[in-house]
Chains A and B, each alone.
Chain A
């Protein structure tokens, strides 16, 4: 049962290869936004878009390669609770920005 044994909800055993892949992808996805901001090559909105795009990508890279999150049945509840948390975060952060932005606008 050693092969099926590694589905330890939350952080099963990754291989050296999976950590190396995640590491290299994370390095690239960190270098891109820092380079863009330090050099100022892109327009303001283009840089903001790149910062957010690389951050979201890197979050998914680390969730997959470091925390071993996938759509397997062993990870079902981890994935569901994460999606629910994303929903709460969307309400929290999105709602705060929305309300405070329109308050600034009206005052």
Chain B
């Protein structure tokens, strides 16, 4: 099933890719610990409004639902692209990547619009402890998504120039882990920040 053109024997390539994937997984776990620190801060600060606007006044659930859908569709599109990669179907891979990229861009765009709208209303990060924690937590996730988009652009360029070599495939596997991981962090975000905030 593999089209490995490198000089290394196949099992060695496979072992390297597996070790790299586990190493990347450990990075994701440390990222998760960092997110849990931000979540802990948010939960502690969630009612420190300092006389400012509350989550109930600020959050728009329809937008949050739309953002959730964009990220979920993006995650699935990437997964289908990976199915294409394992079949050696370059067009399916590129189509999945492009769809994941555009949906991710839509997500980041919606979040940027939400942030700028809040700041223009005087509900910026300096307004209250609640808003500081909100912008840090949601902004950190948004920054991760932005880096994922950048990574996708780089990988599409690598597929175009290098082709589907073993290292490129291993990088795509790790990018997939990153992308699905960000969708999982978003589940916690929309549940704790948006749904609990409006309740």
Residues of A3-22 contacting chain B, CB below 8 A? 5-11, 13-16, 19, 22
CB–CB B26/A81 < 8 A = yes
Q: Contact: B33 with A85, CB < 8 Å?
A: yes
Partner of B18, one of A9, A22, A26: A9
Question: Given A19-B79, A23-B72, A23-B76, are A92 and B37 also a contact pair (CB < 8 Å)?
Answer: yes
Q: Complex Cα distance A3/B59, Å?
A: 48
B178 to chain A: closest residue by CB: A11
Residue pair B21, A8 in contact (C-beta under 8 Å): yes
- Please indicate the chain B residues that have their CB under 8 angstroms from the CB of A100 in the complex: 44
Please name all residues of chain B whose beta carbon is closer than 8 Å to the beta carbon of A88 when the two chains form the complex. 33, 36
Q: How large is the interface on B (under 10, 10 to 19, 20 to 34, 35 or more residues)?
A: 35 or more
Question: Which of A7, A27, A92, A97 has most B Cβ within 10 Å?
Answer: A92
Chain A interface, >50% SS class: helix
Q: Are B191 and A55 in contact (CB under 8 A)?
A: yes
- Chain A neighbourhood of B69, CB < 8 A: 30
Are B80 and A19 in contact, with the CB atoms below 8 A?
A: yes
Q: A88-B33, A88-B36 are in contact. Are A51 and B196 (CB under 8 A)?
A: yes
CB-contact partner of B80 in A5, A10, A16, under 8 A: A16
| B188: chain A residues within 8 A (beta carbon) | 55, 59
A24 to chain B, nearest CB (A): 10
Question: Which of B35-67 touch A at CB < 8 Å?
Answer: 36-37, 39-41, 43-44, 61, 64-65
Which of B1, B26, B176, B199 is close to A47, meaning CB atoms less than 8 Å apart? B199
Query: B191 near A19 (CB under 8 angstroms)?
Result: no
Q: How far is the CB of A7 from chain B (nearest CB, A)?
A: 8
Within 8 A of B (CB), among A47-97: 47-48, 51-52, 54-55, 58-59, 62-63, 66-67, 74, 77-78, 81-82, 84-85, 88-89, 92-93, 95-97
Q: Cβ of B156: which chain A residues have Cβ within 8 Å of it? A: none
> In the bound complex, what is the Cα–Cα distance between A65 and B145 (angstroms)?
21
CA distance A4 to B21 in the complex (A): 17
User: In the complex, are the beta carbons of B191 and A51 less than 8 A apart?
Assistant: yes
Q: Are A58 and B195 in contact (CB under 8 A)?
A: no
* A44 contacts the other chain (CB 8 A): yes
| Residues in B whose Cβ lies below 8 Å from that of A38 | 61
Nearest 9 Cβ contacts at the A-B interface: A13-B86, A10-B21, A96-B40, A55-B191, A89-B36, A66-B180, A19-B79, A2-B1, A9-B21
- Interface residue ranges, A against B (CB under 8 Å): 2, 5-11, 13-16, 19, 22-23, 26-27, 30, 33-34, 37-38, 44, 47-48, 51-52, 54-55, 58-59, 62-63, 66-67, 74, 77-78, 81-82, 84-85, 88-89, 92-93, 95-97, 100
